[in-house]
């Protein structure tokens, strides 16, 4: 190497100015640049890594100050690649920070070497080195919108490493830092997958409130596939940004739909919301890939039947019950078709006979009636059968004794009265109990509008009677020539 003298410095300054002029005029010789880069790389392979880095950094500075995007990217990528091939991970982290902090660094160059560095993460020798590289890239991408997608992917990788270590709480906190729903350039499928991963980690740490908030960021309409409307790389989004290709591990839209509803089922199972679980299974049942395979739709349809039976009786439950019973595929599951018909027809079904009839199906459906929540669901199933019987009895009887009600329900009198009282409190039906006489009177609960109409009709009839009476009094007074009001 030449000595650093005043003459050499002056000559180097003149050469640098000439190079800058060429760059500014757009006359960069890329073939020459690539040759210089390859020569520097060969020096690194020979053991002259320091000299190689000095040469590449000098070239990067010239083209960066000249604002030549292509040449600057070539130089930055060459520096990163050289350090990767040399397996100098510590120097790689240092030079990533150095390149990002250099004066007037170009956005395109930062984006380029960040993406290149991300490709080297799987090749790191150990987990500590991998985490250190991810942390370095996160530092570089922090606060920069043009690399927000890369930062989101780095955060997901870091959260995955923490989850593998068993630190679910820490992984959930790391992943929740990123709000991908605001990223205009991220593909729709990657956004949905990212949010669903956030929901999954929240459910794993039993943070059900936050899981519900995050799940509401995904609309069920997002899973509707329209022909010719798929997002592609390079497509311009609503905000004018180019849509980037989804990450390689991103599932398809139908797989994401299945994942979304399975996560919602986990959430609703925590709250024992049977009607919402049934709706989720119905959405899964409608997925084309599920419909095409009998081994897939049959278990889903069975769970739909059980959860619609477990749901408390109301207008939504009745609608779902009749809709499910009308499904043609239910003809291939005669036991479940009969199950739904048992609760549709206006006939009393004793619990002992019901349990004996469907005991095999109850034991076989471990996902619904197995495990810790299985006992409660069996109790809820018994309660739904009893409520069905009480509603049936209320349609046939307007007045019945408590003893007769208990006999029809096959229950003790106290338990029958308790279930009836609970249904009255829940406004499932209207009834009055005369305890001293032991008599129950069923009466249909009237809606407020119906009550007002009844009062209006009664007042109308009363006014009509008053008017007719007045006319008859006047007629009699005229016939008998008696003045009205005279004593």
Whole-angstrom distance, CA of residue 367 vs CA of residue 307: 11
| Residue 280 tokens, joined | 């989720």
Contact 303, 368 (CB under 8 A): yes
DSSP designation for 329: G
Residue 8 has pLDDT above 80, yes or no: no
Q: Which runs of E-coded beta strand occur in 289-417?
A: 399-401
Q: What tens digit of pLDDT does each residue of 149-192 get?
A: 999 999 999 999 999 989 999 999 999 888 888 888 888 899 99
Q: Which of 49-58, 198-207, 219-228, 233-242 has the lowest mean pLDDT?
A: 233-242
Query: What is the reported pLDDT for 23?
Result: 47
Residue 476 has pLDDT above 50, yes or no: yes
Question: Shortest CA distance to 231 belongs to which of 183, 289, 198?
Answer: 183
Averaged pLDDT for residues 460-479: 90
Whole-angstrom distance, CA of residue 73 vs CA of residue 204: 42
Whole-angstrom distance, CA of residue 160 vs CA of residue 31: 42
Whole-angstrom distance, CA of residue 432 vs CA of residue 439: 8
Distances (CA, A) of 206 to 182, 252, 256, 262: 26, 27, 22, 16
Averaged pLDDT for residues 62-74: 88
Locate the domains of the chain by residue range.
1-138
Q: Which ranges constitute the DSSP H helices of 46-68?
A: 49-65
DSSP designation for 349: -
Residue 1 has pLDDT above 80, yes or no: no
pTM of the model: 0.79
Whole-angstrom distance, CA of residue 155 vs CA of residue 135: 9
* Helix (H), strand (E) counts: the chain: 24, 3
Q: Which residues contact 430 (CB under 8 A, 6 or more apart)?
A: 424, 442, 443, 444, 445
Q: Which of 21-35, 262-276, 430-444 has the lowest mean pLDDT?
A: 21-35
Query: What is the reported pLDDT for 249?
Result: 83
CB burial of residue 378 (10 Å; 0-12, 13-18, 19+): middle
Q: What tens digit of pLDDT does each residue of 355-369 get?
A: 899 888 888 888 888
Q: Which of 82-86, 153-157, 229-233 has the lowest mean pLDDT?
A: 229-233
Q: What tens digit of pLDDT does each residue of 235-277 get?
A: 555 444 577 888 888 889 999 999 999 999 999 999 999 999 9
Whole-angstrom distance, CA of residue 243 vs CA of residue 96: 26
CB burial of residue 3 (10 Å; 0-12, 13-18, 19+): exposed
Q: What tens digit of pLDDT does each residue of 90-113 get?
A: 999 999 999 999 888 889 999 999
Contact 33, 76 (CB under 8 A): no
Cα 192 to chain centroid distance, Å, stands at 8
Contact 102, 95 (CB under 8 A): no
Averaged pLDDT for residues 395-402: 90
Query: What is the reported pLDDT for 39?
Result: 84
Query: What is the reported pLDDT for 17?
Result: 52
Query: What is the reported pLDDT for 30?
Result: 77
> pLDDT class for 16, splitting at 50, 70, 90?
low
Q: Which helix (H) or strand (E) holds 434?
A: strand 431-434
376 three-state secondary structure = helix
306 three-state secondary structure = helix
Whole-angstrom distance, CA of residue 348 vs CA of residue 444: 19
> pLDDT class for 451, splitting at 50, 70, 90?
confident
> pLDDT class for 117, splitting at 50, 70, 90?
very high
Averaged pLDDT for residues 398-427: 90
Q: What is the dihedral of CA 7, 9, 15, 17, to 10 degrees?
A: -120
Q: Which helix (H) or strand (E) holds 346?
A: none
Q: What tens digit of pLDDT does each residue of 312-350 get?
A: 988 888 999 999 999 899 989 999 999 999 999 999 988
Contact 135, 170 (CB under 8 A): no
Give the percent of the chain with pLDDT over 90: 43
Instruction: Between 231 and 359, name the one with better pLDDT.
Output: 359
Averaged pLDDT for residues 128-136: 92
> pLDDT class for 46, splitting at 50, 70, 90?
confident
Contact 106, 68 (CB under 8 A): no
| Residue 285 tokens, joined | 């049942």
Query: What is the reported pLDDT for 443?
Result: 78
432 three-state secondary structure = strand
Query: What is the reported pLDDT for 44?
Result: 77
> pLDDT class for 48, splitting at 50, 70, 90?
confident
CB burial of residue 256 (10 Å; 0-12, 13-18, 19+): buried
Query: What is the reported pLDDT for 184?
Result: 80
């Amino acid at each position: 190497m030449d000595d650093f003298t005043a003459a050499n410095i002056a000559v180097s300054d003149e050469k640098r100015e000439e190079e800058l002029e060429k760059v500014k005029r757009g006359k960069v010789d890329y073939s020459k640049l690539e040759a210089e880069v390859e020569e520097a790389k060969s020096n690194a392979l020979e053991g002259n890594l320091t000299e190689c880095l000095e040469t590449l950094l000098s070239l990067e500075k010239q083209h960066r100050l000249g604002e030549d995007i292509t040449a600057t990217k070539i130089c930055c990528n060459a520096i990163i690649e050289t350090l990767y091939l040399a397996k100098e991970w510590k120097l790689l982290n240092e030079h990533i920070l150095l390149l990002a902090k250099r004066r007037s660094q170009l956005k395109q160059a930062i984006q380029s070497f960040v993406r290149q560095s991300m490709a080297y993460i799987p090749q790191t020798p150990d987990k500590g080195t991998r985490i250190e590289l991810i942390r370095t890239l996160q530092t570089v991408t922090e606060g920069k919108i043009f690399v927000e997608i890369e930062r989101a992917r780095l955060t997901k990788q870091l959260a995955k490493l923490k989850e593998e270590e068993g630190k679910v709480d820490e992984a959930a906190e790391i992943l929740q830092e990123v709000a991908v729903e605001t990223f205009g350039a991220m593909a729709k499928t990657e956004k949905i997958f990212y949010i669903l991963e956030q929901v999954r980690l929240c459910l794993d740490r039993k943070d059900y409130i936050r899981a519900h908030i995050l799940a509401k960021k995904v609309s069920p309409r997002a899973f509707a596939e329209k022909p010719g409307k798929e997002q592609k790389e390079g497509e311009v989004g609503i905000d004018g940004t180019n849509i980037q290709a989804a990450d390689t591990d991103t599932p398809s839209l139908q797989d994401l739909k299945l994942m979304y509803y399975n996560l919602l089922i986990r959430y609703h199972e925590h709250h024992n919301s049977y009607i919402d679980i049934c709706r989720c299974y119905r959405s899964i049942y409608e997925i084309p890939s599920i419909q095409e395979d009998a081994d897939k739709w049959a278990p889903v349809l069975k769970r739909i039947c059980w959860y619609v039976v477990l749901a408390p009786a109301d207008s939504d439950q009745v609608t779902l019950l009749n809709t499910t019973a009308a499904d043609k595929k239910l003809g291939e599951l005669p036991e479940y078709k009969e199950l739904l018909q048992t609760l549709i027809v206006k006939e009393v079904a004793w619990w002992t006979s019901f349990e004996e009839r469907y005991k095999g199906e109850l034991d076989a459906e471990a996902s619904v009636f197995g495990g810790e929540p299985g006992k409660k669901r069996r109790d809820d199933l018994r309660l739904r059968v009893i409520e069905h019987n009480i509603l049936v009895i209320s349609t046939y009887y307007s007045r019945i004794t408590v003893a007769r009600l208990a006999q029809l329900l096959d229950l003790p009198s106290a338990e029958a009265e308790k279930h009836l009282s609970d249904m009255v409190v829940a406004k499932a039906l209207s009834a009055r109990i005369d305890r001293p006489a032991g008599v129950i009177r069923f009466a249909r609960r009237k809606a407020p509008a119906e009550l007002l109409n009844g009062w209006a009709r009664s007042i109308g009839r009363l006014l009509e009677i008053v008017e007719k009476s007045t006319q008859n009094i006047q007629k009699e007074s005229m016939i008998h020539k008696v003045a009205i009001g005279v004593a």
